[in-house]
Structure 1
């Protein structure tokens, strides 16, 4: 029998640094909640708003798979591997920190804030060679269907990372319904609503609500209003 854990948008941790406003689904930095440490391999889910022209200066990471998904505006990335890239709404970025990487992220725009999701996944291999990749998606490919954007395999659809994890995006018109079948064994699914309202196995999720599902093989998702959402299937480590 499936088990569910609901995280209301308003229950998230919050930090306001002036140039950065961030909401934390799981414990992060000064926000600590022993009941909200992670969902399996999903360690961080931050909803960040960065002021025009501001950003995160160069800082290090080790042994973490880091995903960035811009929701508004342009985010400039620089790292110690020599990558200088801009990711925009419609793009997905994956960075394997592995044995160690330094990077910075800045709002490329001088006239508007940038909003993006910063997600950390605990890897299944440590001290791997650091790497960077990004992908520009076609919004039509997720209209009224579920579009896979990250998987464990470089030969599969979308980007890949060092973990048995699958990420998918969808944009459903009101009334659209689809079944999501789990791809891994012993995995859980975390559903995060980006806009609108959806019903997941009879449970209503509004804008920025999250729902973790375990002990299931498939779920039903129906849009009760035009909605965008993110699915993250991860091992329950």
Structure 2
């Protein structure tokens, strides 16, 4: 038996002009052709989210119990940029090709927590035929632009152009795409409201979506409490 492991690769990014780290969960008895989950950290996080959530232990247990099919889980460093601009180019033109060439992956999923949930939904709606399943876990989606967030976008028009709540009204999503949304009922950002709005707009368009309102706050402990549910969704 070849045990599971966490790989760390460093990408010399031409797009960003610096070295960027990516952590990757490789399951027990790894073989080519496995699905891959790109899992995005929050605004103050980095690729070490794979350790903070103890993804290796949780995924190993679930695979051994038959509750999850083996898959790669990739956590790229995205810094505090909401995945916009050059970071989007970096992800699609460097992270994905490098990972998928090295590990010979098959279908793709994308998800994330907080700001990472915003990134995942934004990318999936603007590149809809690249991802099979999509998740936003306490995702930072709002229907009003916060003044503190304006510097990420530059203009309100750019905010709208990248906001999943507005993107969903004009993009065409494949009938096979599945979307998972969730947030805590005491989420300090009130992101459960954005989840409810987005779920309603997706359902109207006939998209397969599930939205979960759970107990909890906007914390890493909330994500830990529901990690198994997320992995069952992505790796079913």
Normalising by the residue count of structure 1, what TM-score does the alignment of the two structures yield?
0.31
Which structure shows the bigger proportion of residues in helix conformation?
A: 2
Normalising by the residue count of structure 2, what TM-score does the alignment of the two structures yield?
0.31
Which structure shows the bigger proportion of residues in strand conformation?
A: 1
